[in-house]
Amino acid sequence: MNDFTVQIHGAEDGESFRQREGHRSLLRSALHAGVGFPYECHSGGCGSCRFELLEGEVDVLWPQAPGLTDRDRRRNRYLACQCVARSDIRIKVTATAPYRPKVPPRVFRARFVEASQVTHDITEFRFVGEGPAEFLPGQYALMQLPGVEGARAYSMSNTPNPQGEWHFQIRRVLTGKGSTYLMEHLRPGDSLEVDGPYGLAFLRTESPRDIVCVAGGSGLAPVVSIARGAAEAGMLDSRQLHFFYGGRAPRDICGDHFLRRLPGYSERIQYYPIVSLPEEGSDSVWKGEIGFVHELVRRTLAGRLKDLEFYFAGPPPMSQALQEMLMVEYQVPFEQIHFDRFF
Ligand SMILES: Cc1cc2nc3c(=O)[nH]c(=O)nc-3n(C[C@H](O)[C@H](O)[C@H](O)COP(=O)(O)OP(=O)(O)OC[C@H]3O[C@@H](n4cnc5c(N)ncnc54)[C@H](O)[C@@H]3O)c2cc1C
Ligand code: FES
Protein backbone atom coordinates (compact mmCIF):
# COMPACT_ATOMS: atom_id res chain seq x y z
CA MET A 1 0.00 0.00 0.00
CA ASN A 2 1.30 3.49 -0.86
CA ASP A 3 0.43 6.81 0.77
CA PHE A 4 -2.72 8.37 -0.69
CA THR A 5 -4.37 11.75 -0.20
CA VAL A 6 -7.96 11.89 1.03
CA GLN A 7 -9.77 15.16 0.26
CA ILE A 8 -12.91 15.85 2.29
CA HIS A 9 -15.64 17.72 0.44
CA GLY A 10 -17.35 20.37 2.60
CA ALA A 11 -15.36 19.53 5.75
CA GLU A 12 -15.73 21.53 8.93
CA ASP A 13 -12.75 19.90 10.57
CA GLY A 14 -9.71 18.99 8.44
CA GLU A 15 -9.93 19.26 4.67
CA SER A 16 -7.50 16.53 3.76
CA PHE A 17 -5.26 13.87 5.26
CA ARG A 18 -2.85 11.21 4.08
CA GLN A 19 -3.61 7.53 4.34
CA ARG A 20 -0.18 6.33 5.38
CA GLU A 21 1.46 3.07 4.35
CA GLY A 22 0.59 0.45 6.95
CA HIS A 23 -2.52 2.17 8.33
CA ARG A 24 -5.21 -0.43 8.65
CA SER A 25 -8.23 1.71 7.71
CA LEU A 26 -9.17 5.10 6.32
CA LEU A 27 -10.73 5.97 9.67
CA ARG A 28 -7.53 5.22 11.58
CA SER A 29 -5.53 7.38 9.12
CA ALA A 30 -7.95 10.28 9.63
CA LEU A 31 -7.88 10.06 13.44
CA HIS A 32 -4.09 9.58 13.54
CA ALA A 33 -3.87 12.76 11.44
CA GLY A 34 -6.03 14.58 14.02
CA VAL A 35 -9.07 14.93 11.71
CA GLY A 36 -12.49 14.84 13.43
CA PHE A 37 -13.88 11.98 11.32
CA PRO A 38 -17.18 10.71 12.80
CA TYR A 39 -17.04 7.23 14.33
CA GLU A 40 -18.10 5.14 17.29
CA CYS A 41 -17.29 1.39 17.22
CA HIS A 42 -14.39 0.91 14.73
CA SER A 43 -15.94 -2.53 14.24
CA GLY A 44 -18.20 -2.14 11.18
CA GLY A 45 -21.39 -2.22 13.27
CA CYS A 46 -22.67 1.28 14.02
CA GLY A 47 -22.48 3.03 10.62
CA SER A 48 -21.24 6.31 12.15
CA CYS A 49 -18.12 6.41 9.94
CA ARG A 50 -20.14 6.14 6.68
CA PHE A 51 -18.98 8.41 3.85
CA GLU A 52 -19.76 8.92 0.19
CA LEU A 53 -16.99 8.25 -2.31
CA LEU A 54 -16.94 11.09 -4.88
CA GLU A 55 -13.73 10.29 -6.76
CA GLY A 56 -11.11 7.53 -6.71
CA GLU A 57 -11.13 3.95 -5.50
CA VAL A 58 -11.17 2.12 -2.18
CA ASP A 59 -10.63 -1.49 -1.11
CA VAL A 60 -13.37 -2.81 1.16
CA LEU A 61 -11.95 -4.93 3.99
CA TRP A 62 -15.19 -6.48 5.28
CA PRO A 63 -17.88 -6.42 2.55
CA GLN A 64 -20.59 -7.88 4.83
CA ALA A 65 -20.13 -5.30 7.61
CA PRO A 66 -23.62 -4.69 9.08
CA GLY A 67 -23.10 -0.93 9.47
CA LEU A 68 -24.03 -0.36 5.79
CA THR A 69 -27.39 -1.04 4.16
CA ASP A 70 -27.85 -2.22 0.55
CA ARG A 71 -29.18 1.26 -0.17
CA ASP A 72 -25.94 2.76 1.18
CA ARG A 73 -23.92 0.46 -1.04
CA ARG A 74 -25.96 1.43 -4.13
CA ARG A 75 -25.32 5.10 -3.27
CA ASN A 76 -21.54 4.64 -3.27
CA ARG A 77 -21.27 4.81 0.50
CA TYR A 78 -18.56 3.06 2.49
CA LEU A 79 -17.50 2.56 6.09
CA ALA A 80 -14.22 4.34 6.81
CA CYS A 81 -13.39 1.77 9.51
CA GLN A 82 -13.74 -1.05 6.97
CA CYS A 83 -11.92 0.28 3.90
CA VAL A 84 -8.59 1.67 2.70
CA ALA A 85 -7.92 4.03 -0.21
CA ARG A 86 -6.49 2.44 -3.36
CA SER A 87 -5.81 5.81 -5.04
CA ASP A 88 -6.04 9.47 -4.09
CA ILE A 89 -9.72 9.95 -3.26
CA ARG A 90 -12.31 12.65 -2.65
CA ILE A 91 -15.06 11.88 -0.15
CA LYS A 92 -18.11 13.53 1.41
CA VAL A 93 -18.51 13.28 5.18
CA THR A 94 -19.27 15.70 8.01
CA ALA A 95 -16.04 15.80 10.02
CA THR A 96 -16.43 17.90 13.18
CA ALA A 97 -14.17 18.95 16.06
CA PRO A 98 -15.77 16.77 18.82
CA TYR A 99 -14.50 13.67 17.01
CA ARG A 100 -10.92 14.96 16.90
CA PRO A 101 -8.89 12.73 19.28
CA LYS A 102 -8.19 14.34 22.65
CA VAL A 103 -5.27 11.94 23.15
CA PRO A 104 -3.49 11.18 19.85
CA PRO A 105 -3.79 7.47 19.03
CA ARG A 106 -0.65 5.46 18.31
CA VAL A 107 0.20 1.95 17.18
CA PHE A 108 2.44 -0.03 19.52
CA ARG A 109 3.33 -3.55 20.63
CA ALA A 110 1.92 -4.67 23.97
CA ARG A 111 3.23 -7.70 25.88
CA PHE A 112 0.71 -9.92 27.67
CA VAL A 113 1.74 -10.26 31.31
CA GLU A 114 -1.03 -12.04 33.23
CA ALA A 115 -4.75 -12.80 33.37
CA SER A 116 -7.20 -13.16 36.24
CA GLN A 117 -10.79 -14.37 36.33
CA VAL A 118 -13.52 -11.77 37.02
CA THR A 119 -16.60 -13.98 36.52
CA HIS A 120 -17.25 -17.39 34.91
CA ASP A 121 -16.93 -15.76 31.48
CA ILE A 122 -15.05 -12.46 31.98
CA THR A 123 -11.25 -12.44 32.29
CA GLU A 124 -9.00 -9.48 33.01
CA PHE A 125 -5.94 -9.35 30.73
CA ARG A 126 -2.97 -7.21 31.70
CA PHE A 127 -0.58 -5.96 29.04
CA VAL A 128 2.47 -3.70 29.14
CA GLY A 129 3.02 -1.50 26.11
CA GLU A 130 5.91 0.58 24.86
CA GLY A 131 5.94 4.02 26.55
CA PRO A 132 3.39 5.43 29.00
CA ALA A 133 -0.25 4.33 28.73
CA GLU A 134 -2.00 7.53 27.67
CA PHE A 135 -5.77 7.48 27.36
CA LEU A 136 -8.86 8.90 29.03
CA PRO A 137 -10.89 6.73 31.43
CA GLY A 138 -13.71 5.11 29.41
CA GLN A 139 -11.77 4.82 26.13
CA TYR A 140 -10.88 1.70 24.16
CA ALA A 141 -8.07 0.33 21.99
CA LEU A 142 -8.02 -1.87 18.89
CA MET A 143 -6.22 -5.21 19.01
CA GLN A 144 -4.90 -7.11 16.06
CA LEU A 145 -5.10 -10.81 16.90
CA PRO A 146 -3.20 -13.50 14.95
CA GLY A 147 -5.45 -15.41 12.53
CA VAL A 148 -8.46 -13.11 13.23
CA GLU A 149 -9.79 -10.93 10.40
CA GLY A 150 -10.33 -7.31 11.35
CA ALA A 151 -9.45 -5.64 14.64
CA ARG A 152 -11.30 -6.13 17.93
CA ALA A 153 -12.15 -3.17 20.19
CA TYR A 154 -11.54 -3.59 23.93
CA SER A 155 -12.00 -0.92 26.60
CA MET A 156 -9.36 -0.27 29.20
CA SER A 157 -10.44 -0.97 32.80
CA ASN A 158 -7.51 0.83 34.42
CA THR A 159 -6.50 4.49 34.24
CA PRO A 160 -3.63 6.18 32.38
CA ASN A 161 -0.24 5.43 33.90
CA PRO A 162 3.47 6.02 33.23
CA GLN A 163 4.31 2.28 33.52
CA GLY A 164 2.55 1.53 30.21
CA GLU A 165 -0.04 -0.85 31.73
CA TRP A 166 -3.17 -1.59 29.70
CA HIS A 167 -5.83 -3.69 31.43
CA PHE A 168 -8.83 -5.17 29.60
CA GLN A 169 -11.81 -7.14 30.94
CA ILE A 170 -12.94 -9.42 28.15
CA ARG A 171 -16.01 -11.59 27.98
CA ARG A 172 -15.81 -14.93 26.25
CA VAL A 173 -18.10 -15.18 23.22
CA LEU A 174 -18.73 -18.86 22.50
CA THR A 175 -18.21 -18.78 18.74
CA GLY A 176 -16.15 -15.56 18.80
CA LYS A 177 -12.81 -15.65 17.03
CA GLY A 178 -11.09 -12.81 18.90
CA SER A 179 -12.19 -13.65 22.42
CA THR A 180 -11.43 -17.36 21.85
CA TYR A 181 -7.93 -16.47 20.68
CA LEU A 182 -7.37 -14.39 23.83
CA MET A 183 -8.77 -17.02 26.22
CA GLU A 184 -7.22 -20.11 24.65
CA HIS A 185 -4.10 -19.21 22.72
CA LEU A 186 -2.54 -16.09 24.24
CA ARG A 187 0.43 -16.90 26.51
CA PRO A 188 2.37 -14.65 28.93
CA GLY A 189 5.19 -13.00 26.99
CA ASP A 190 3.23 -12.93 23.69
CA SER A 191 2.93 -9.50 22.16
CA LEU A 192 0.15 -7.99 20.07
CA GLU A 193 -0.33 -4.91 17.93
CA VAL A 194 -2.51 -2.36 19.73
CA ASP A 195 -3.81 0.92 18.30
CA GLY A 196 -5.43 3.58 20.45
CA PRO A 197 -6.87 5.21 22.37
CA TYR A 198 -10.25 5.75 20.71
CA GLY A 199 -13.78 6.47 21.88
CA LEU A 200 -15.90 9.42 22.92
CA ALA A 201 -17.46 8.04 26.12
CA PHE A 202 -14.61 9.29 28.29
CA LEU A 203 -14.80 10.81 31.78
CA ARG A 204 -15.79 14.50 31.79
CA THR A 205 -13.78 15.78 34.75
CA GLU A 206 -15.18 19.28 34.29
CA SER A 207 -18.79 18.20 34.92
CA PRO A 208 -20.08 19.24 38.38
CA ARG A 209 -22.86 16.60 38.32
CA ASP A 210 -23.13 13.30 40.21
CA ILE A 211 -22.03 10.35 38.07
CA VAL A 212 -24.05 7.34 36.94
CA CYS A 213 -22.20 4.32 35.50
CA VAL A 214 -24.27 1.56 33.89
CA ALA A 215 -22.85 -1.66 32.48
CA GLY A 216 -24.18 -4.92 31.17
CA GLY A 217 -22.31 -8.04 30.03
CA SER A 218 -18.95 -7.17 28.51
CA GLY A 219 -19.42 -3.44 29.26
CA LEU A 220 -17.75 -3.68 32.68
CA ALA A 221 -14.26 -2.39 31.79
CA PRO A 222 -14.97 1.19 30.66
CA VAL A 223 -17.24 2.02 33.59
CA VAL A 224 -14.73 0.57 36.08
CA SER A 225 -12.18 2.88 34.44
CA ILE A 226 -14.61 5.83 34.75
CA ALA A 227 -15.13 5.10 38.48
CA ARG A 228 -11.39 4.76 39.08
CA GLY A 229 -10.67 7.90 37.04
CA ALA A 230 -13.28 9.90 38.96
CA ALA A 231 -11.77 8.77 42.29
CA GLU A 232 -8.21 9.58 41.16
CA ALA A 233 -9.26 13.02 39.90
CA GLY A 234 -10.76 13.85 43.31
CA MET A 235 -14.22 14.14 41.73
CA LEU A 236 -15.81 12.00 44.44
CA ASP A 237 -14.89 14.49 47.17
CA SER A 238 -17.89 16.51 46.05
CA ARG A 239 -19.99 14.08 43.97
CA GLN A 240 -21.82 10.76 44.33
CA LEU A 241 -21.16 7.87 41.96
CA HIS A 242 -23.97 5.38 41.28
CA PHE A 243 -22.75 2.16 39.65
CA PHE A 244 -25.32 -0.22 38.10
CA TYR A 245 -24.47 -3.64 36.69
CA GLY A 246 -27.01 -5.77 34.86
CA GLY A 247 -26.41 -9.49 34.30
CA ARG A 248 -28.45 -12.32 32.92
CA ALA A 249 -27.89 -14.63 35.89
CA PRO A 250 -26.45 -14.25 39.43
CA ARG A 251 -23.09 -15.70 38.34
CA ASP A 252 -22.69 -12.81 35.87
CA ILE A 253 -22.76 -10.15 38.57
CA CYS A 254 -19.49 -8.26 39.00
CA GLY A 255 -17.98 -4.81 39.50
CA ASP A 256 -18.40 -4.39 43.26
CA HIS A 257 -14.99 -5.97 43.90
CA PHE A 258 -13.27 -3.11 42.02
CA LEU A 259 -15.35 -0.35 43.60
CA ARG A 260 -14.70 -1.54 47.17
CA ARG A 261 -11.05 -0.60 46.76
CA LEU A 262 -11.88 3.02 45.97
CA PRO A 263 -11.98 5.69 48.70
CA GLY A 264 -15.55 6.67 49.56
CA TYR A 265 -17.10 3.25 48.82
CA SER A 266 -20.62 3.09 50.32
CA GLU A 267 -20.55 6.78 51.32
CA ARG A 268 -19.95 8.35 47.93
CA ILE A 269 -19.98 5.22 45.74
CA GLN A 270 -23.11 3.07 45.58
CA TYR A 271 -23.32 -0.27 43.79
CA TYR A 272 -26.61 -1.69 42.42
CA PRO A 273 -26.68 -5.15 40.79
CA ILE A 274 -29.67 -6.65 38.96
CA VAL A 275 -30.29 -9.90 37.07
CA SER A 276 -32.96 -10.76 34.53
CA LEU A 277 -32.94 -14.57 35.05
CA PRO A 278 -32.40 -15.15 38.81
CA GLU A 279 -32.59 -18.92 38.64
CA GLU A 280 -30.27 -19.53 35.71
CA GLY A 281 -26.95 -21.32 36.36
CA SER A 282 -27.05 -20.98 40.14
CA ASP A 283 -27.79 -23.21 43.15
CA SER A 284 -28.20 -20.32 45.58
CA VAL A 285 -31.28 -18.10 45.78
CA TRP A 286 -30.87 -14.58 44.34
CA LYS A 287 -32.24 -12.09 46.86
CA GLY A 288 -31.49 -8.93 44.92
CA GLU A 289 -33.21 -6.92 42.20
CA ILE A 290 -34.76 -8.70 39.21
CA GLY A 291 -35.32 -7.17 35.78
CA PHE A 292 -33.45 -4.99 33.32
CA VAL A 293 -30.77 -2.57 34.38
CA HIS A 294 -32.35 0.54 32.83
CA GLU A 295 -35.47 -0.08 34.95
CA LEU A 296 -33.34 -0.19 38.08
CA VAL A 297 -31.76 3.13 37.09
CA ARG A 298 -35.27 4.56 36.71
CA ARG A 299 -36.49 3.16 40.04
CA THR A 300 -33.41 4.35 41.92
CA LEU A 301 -32.85 7.79 40.45
CA ALA A 302 -36.18 8.94 38.99
CA GLY A 303 -36.78 12.59 39.70
CA ARG A 304 -33.05 13.37 39.52
CA LEU A 305 -32.18 11.95 36.09
CA LYS A 306 -31.89 15.33 34.39
CA ASP A 307 -29.21 16.45 36.86
CA LEU A 308 -26.82 13.54 36.38
CA GLU A 309 -23.89 12.65 34.10
CA PHE A 310 -24.33 9.19 32.48
CA TYR A 311 -21.73 6.74 31.21
CA PHE A 312 -22.82 3.38 29.86
CA ALA A 313 -21.45 0.39 27.98
CA GLY A 314 -22.81 -2.97 27.02
CA PRO A 315 -24.90 -4.83 24.48
CA PRO A 316 -26.83 -2.72 21.92
CA PRO A 317 -30.31 -3.53 23.40
CA MET A 318 -29.21 -2.22 26.80
CA SER A 319 -27.73 0.95 25.29
CA GLN A 320 -30.86 1.42 23.20
CA ALA A 321 -33.19 1.06 26.21
CA LEU A 322 -31.12 3.54 28.24
CA GLN A 323 -30.95 6.06 25.42
CA GLU A 324 -34.71 5.94 24.89
CA MET A 325 -35.45 6.25 28.58
CA LEU A 326 -33.02 9.10 29.22
CA MET A 327 -33.36 11.11 26.01
CA VAL A 328 -37.00 10.57 25.04
CA GLU A 329 -38.82 9.91 28.32
CA TYR A 330 -36.82 12.10 30.69
CA GLN A 331 -35.23 14.58 28.25
CA VAL A 332 -31.81 14.34 29.82
CA PRO A 333 -29.59 16.71 27.79
CA PHE A 334 -27.61 14.82 25.15
CA GLU A 335 -24.31 16.35 26.41
CA GLN A 336 -24.79 14.49 29.74
CA ILE A 337 -25.02 11.04 28.11
CA HIS A 338 -21.85 9.20 27.07
CA PHE A 339 -21.69 5.73 25.54
CA ASP A 340 -19.98 3.63 22.90
CA ARG A 341 -22.13 0.79 21.66
CA PHE A 342 -20.43 -2.62 21.74
CA PHE A 343 -20.80 -4.78 18.61
C1 LIG B 1 -16.15 0.32 21.42
C2 LIG B 1 -16.16 -1.14 21.82
C3 LIG B 1 -15.59 -1.51 23.03
C4 LIG B 1 -15.63 -2.85 23.41
N5 LIG B 1 -15.11 -3.19 24.63
C6 LIG B 1 -15.19 -4.49 25.04
C7 LIG B 1 -14.70 -4.88 26.33
O8 LIG B 1 -14.19 -4.06 27.11
N9 LIG B 1 -14.80 -6.19 26.69
C10 LIG B 1 -15.36 -7.13 25.85
O11 LIG B 1 -15.43 -8.29 26.21
N12 LIG B 1 -15.83 -6.78 24.63
C13 LIG B 1 -15.75 -5.50 24.20
N14 LIG B 1 -16.22 -5.16 22.95
C15 LIG B 1 -16.70 -6.23 22.05
C16 LIG B 1 -15.47 -6.81 21.29
O17 LIG B 1 -14.89 -5.85 20.45
C18 LIG B 1 -15.84 -8.00 20.40
O19 LIG B 1 -16.90 -7.68 19.56
C20 LIG B 1 -16.20 -9.23 21.21
O21 LIG B 1 -15.08 -9.61 22.02
C22 LIG B 1 -16.55 -10.39 20.28
O23 LIG B 1 -15.46 -10.60 19.43
P24 LIG B 1 -15.10 -12.05 18.89
O25 LIG B 1 -13.99 -11.92 17.91
O26 LIG B 1 -14.89 -12.97 20.03
O27 LIG B 1 -16.45 -12.47 18.16
P28 LIG B 1 -16.70 -12.52 16.59
O29 LIG B 1 -18.13 -12.88 16.43
O30 LIG B 1 -15.68 -13.39 15.91
O31 LIG B 1 -16.43 -11.03 16.14
C32 LIG B 1 -17.37 -10.01 16.45
C33 LIG B 1 -16.72 -8.66 16.32
O34 LIG B 1 -15.78 -8.59 15.29
C35 LIG B 1 -16.21 -7.73 14.24
N36 LIG B 1 -15.92 -8.48 13.01
C37 LIG B 1 -16.37 -9.71 12.69
N38 LIG B 1 -15.85 -10.10 11.47
C39 LIG B 1 -15.07 -9.11 11.05
C40 LIG B 1 -14.26 -8.92 9.89
N41 LIG B 1 -14.15 -9.83 8.92
N42 LIG B 1 -13.58 -7.76 9.76
C43 LIG B 1 -13.67 -6.80 10.74
N44 LIG B 1 -14.42 -6.94 11.87
C45 LIG B 1 -15.10 -8.07 12.02
C46 LIG B 1 -17.68 -7.50 14.50
O47 LIG B 1 -18.15 -6.24 14.10
C48 LIG B 1 -17.74 -7.59 16.00
O49 LIG B 1 -17.27 -6.39 16.58
C50 LIG B 1 -16.20 -3.84 22.55
C51 LIG B 1 -16.73 -3.44 21.32
C52 LIG B 1 -16.72 -2.12 20.96
C53 LIG B 1 -17.29 -1.72 19.62
S1 FES C 1 -17.19 3.32 13.36
FE2 FES C 1 -17.30 2.33 11.44
S3 FES C 1 -19.13 1.20 11.59
FE4 FES C 1 -18.89 1.99 13.62
pLDDT tens digits, one per residue of 18-28: 998 778 999 99
Residue 1 has pLDDT above 80, yes or no: no
Q: How far apart are CA 259 and CA 101, in angstroms?
A: 28
Ligand nearest to the CA of 43: 1
Question: Which helix H or strand E contains 271, and what residues bound it?
Answer: strand 269-275
Residues with CB under 6 A from ligand 1: 41, 43-45, 62, 140, 149-150, 152-155, 168-171, 173, 176-179, 199, 218, 221, 340, 342-343
- Judgement on whether residues 47 and 93 belong to the same structural domain of the protein: yes
Domain end (from 150, 173, 198) = 198
Q: How far apart are CA 57 and CA 53, in angstroms?
A: 8
Domain end (from 99, 126, 158) = 99
Q: Which CATH number belongs to the domain containing residue 134 in this structure?
A: 2.40.30.10
Q: How far apart are CA 33 and CA 100, in angstroms?
A: 9
Count of structural domains within the chain: 3
143: domain range?
106-198
Residue with CA closest to ligand 1 atom 26: 176
In this predicted structure, what is the pLDDT of residue 340?
83
Q: How far apart are CA 336 and CA 329, in angstroms?
A: 15
Q: Beta-carbon neighbour count of residue 100 at 10 Å?
A: 17
pLDDT in tens, 230-282: 999 999 999 999 999 999 999 999 999 999 999 999 999 999 999 999 988 77
In a domain, 203, yes or no: no
For 104-113, what is the mean pLDDT?
A: 97
pLDDT in tens, 159-191: 999 999 999 999 999 999 999 999 999 999 999
Q: Which CATH number belongs to the domain containing residue 237 in this structure?
A: 3.40.50.80
Residue 96 has pLDDT above 80, yes or no: yes
- Judgement on whether residues 13 and 37 belong to the same structural domain of the protein: yes
